[in-house]
Structure 1
Amino acid sequence: MRKVDNQTTNRSSLYCAIFGHNFQVSKNITYHVKEYKCCNCKKEMTTNSNGDLTELTPKFKEINSVLKRIHNNKLIRLSRQRIDYPQIKMTS
């Protein structure tokens, strides 16, 4: 059973080596930062500060989780401000 799993992984990585990875978005962290996962070999990538794809290491996973928490808190705070301060219509 173990050899079958390894052969599947080797075939997937061979496919990616020949044709390239087929990355799809697995998580939206912010509007600009996303995590990607290859459909074939399950390799995970993320965008770095320059907007380039880099391998998703434990360090980047931690950075992305903190960034997502900060981004969500900001969105919550902004939505509360919009509710607390409705737009005033000016009449002449």
Structure 2
Amino acid sequence: MKNLYCSLFGHEYKVAKKVTYHVKEYKCKNCNAQTTINGKGEMIPLTPKYKEINSVLERIHNRRVHNKKQKALIPDY
């Protein structure tokens, strides 16, 4: 029934996870279909390959943001 709704009216995607500032993972409110943004900015299905890519991107992004915050706290003399 839920897939029928999405096939008639389209998916209602909500942000499920923010990977970086630009890359997010989305989940359909009705049928729980998961998608993400690829390198070209297109929405594609979230496969195990893209889950792994997103987790690596998230780890790199968090490390860089954390390092920037640490450098901002250290005063320059």
- On whether the aligned pair clears a TM of 0.5, the verdict is yes
Q: Which has the higher contact order (CA 8 A, sep 6+)?
A: 2
Q: Which has the larger Rg?
A: 1
For 2:61, the equivalent position in structure 1 comes to 71
Which 4+ stretches in 1 moved above 3 angstroms?
none
| TM-score normalised according to structure 1 size | 0.81
DSSP 3-state at the match of 1:70:
helix
Unaligned runs of 5+ in 1: 1-10
Q: Per residue, is there more helix in 1 or in 2?
A: 1
The answer as to 2:28 corresponding to 1:38 is yes
CA RMSD of aligned residues (A): 1.2
Written as runs of structure 1 = structure 2, the 5 A alignment for 1:45-84 is 45-84=35-74
Identity %: 48
**1:25 aligned to which of 15, 26, 29:** 15
TM norm structure 2: 0.96
Q: Does 1:12 align with 2:25?
A: no
